[in-house]
Amino acid sequence: MDDRIKGYAEKMGKSYNNMLEEFGTIRAGRANPRVLSKIMVDYYGVKTPIAQVGNITVPEPRVLQIQPWEGSMLKVIERAINMSDIGINPTNDGKVIRLVFPELNEERRKDLVKDIRKKGEGAKVAVRNIRRDANDYLKKLGKGDVSEDEIKDLEDEVQKETDRMIKEIDKAVEEKSKEILTV
């Protein structure tokens, strides 16, 4: 790939990776420690991710267990989870916090699939915007001392990368949707 458009391809890849990260926070009825990745706790005045103040394990398919390294953090973690938007009430037994993920009903699964498709569409829009930026850049190059044929070749390369990324996004959306809909 030509160095002049490599940066645009990297930006497209970042949009795709960002979408995959967002997919990781969608809970599919199974316990996944990544649902806690955005929850911060107050650790001696510093906002800290839960994973950095305790050990997160998955003892059963639908249970997350958080064992803080300091007993005093139990209440802080519990409060942070209650204030978050994950919609699960933690249970605290004095040593560990457990999060039990309920089975998803069919309506909730369909809502999650809609959300996944919306995130996928957002990633496609981002990729297309990057393609537009790349093409604008190439038009500016064309006004300089770069030949029209070379510009056309670069535009084709940008379009091929765009098509490839959109295929990857569609594939990821399809896989995540299938995962959610599988009971």
Is there a contact between 98 and 91 (Cβ–Cβ < 8 Å)? yes
Domain identity same for 71 and 91: yes
109 and 19 in a single domain? The answer is yes
pTM: 0.69
Residues 6+ apart with CB under 8 A from 98: 63, 64, 65, 66, 90, 91
pLDDT band, residue 133 (cuts 50/70/90) = very high
Residues 94 and 113 in one domain: no
**pLDDT band at 119; cut points 50, 70, 90:** very high
Do residue 42 and residue 9 come from a single domain? no
Give dist(CA 159, CA 70) in Å, integer: 53
Length of the chain: 183
Model confidence at 29: pLDDT above 70? no
Q: Which residues of 157-180 are buried (b: 16+ CB within 10 A; e: fewer)?
A: bbeebbeebbebbeebbeebbebb
Q: Please tell me the total count of domains within the chain.
A: 2
Task: Read off the pLDDT of each residue in 161-168 and give the average, rounded to a whole number.
Answer: 95
Distance of CA 167 to the CA centre of its chain: 17
Identify whether residues 87 and 109 lie together within a single domain.
no
Taking only the tens place, the pLDDT of each residue in 42-70 is 888 889 888 888 899 988 888 889 999 88
pLDDT for 83 equals: 86
CATH number, domain containing residue 120: 1.10.132.20
Task: Note whether 85 and 117 are same-domain residues.
Answer: no
Answer with the one of 50, 81, 100 that is the final residue of a domain.
100
Residue where a domain terminates, one of 75, 100, 125: 100
Range of the domain at 49: 33-100
* Domain shared by 130 and 160, yes or no: yes
- 76 shares its domain with 121: no
Read off the amino acid at residue 183: V
Residue finishing a domain among 100, 122, 141 = 100
Task: Examine the domain organization and report whether 127 and 150 are in the same domain.
Answer: yes
pLDDT of residue 122: 94
CATH code where residue 67 lies: 3.30.1360.40
